[in-house]
Amino acid sequence: MGKTRTFVDKMKKDKATVRACPVCGAPQQAVRTLVPVANEETGYFKFRDKIEHVCKCNNDEVYG
Ligand SMILES: [Zn+2]
């Protein structure tokens, strides 16, 4: 019973980070990227975390 439970928990975790691409159906990898955001008051840029879901469809877009 313990093993089954562990397996289910693992599946749940995987589901949180991996999802299927709506275009090609391949599993997409969640990749954390930093997006520059301009602060209008100071004029400085700061970086904000963004999670991109990457597969062959948008691989060039995200990494290019
Ligand atoms: Zn795709």
CA of 61 to the centre of ligand 1 (A): 12
Look at residue 16 in the predicted model and tell me its pLDDT: 57
User: Cβ of 62: how many Cβ atoms within 10 Å?
Assistant: 13
Q: How far is CA 17 from CA 10, 29, 38, 46, 52, in A?
A: 11, 7, 28, 26, 11
Q: Please write the tens of the pLDDT for every residue from 5-64.
A: 777 777 666 555 678 999 999 999 888 989 999 999 999 999 999 988 899 998 888 777
CA of 35 to the centre of ligand 1 (A): 22
| Beta strands in 1-64, from DSSP E residues, in sequence order | 18-20, 27-38, 45-54
Look at residue 36 in the predicted model and tell me its pLDDT: 93
CA of 12 to the centre of ligand 1 (A): 22
Tell me the three state secondary structure of residue 60.
Answer: helix
CA of 51 to the centre of ligand 1 (A): 16
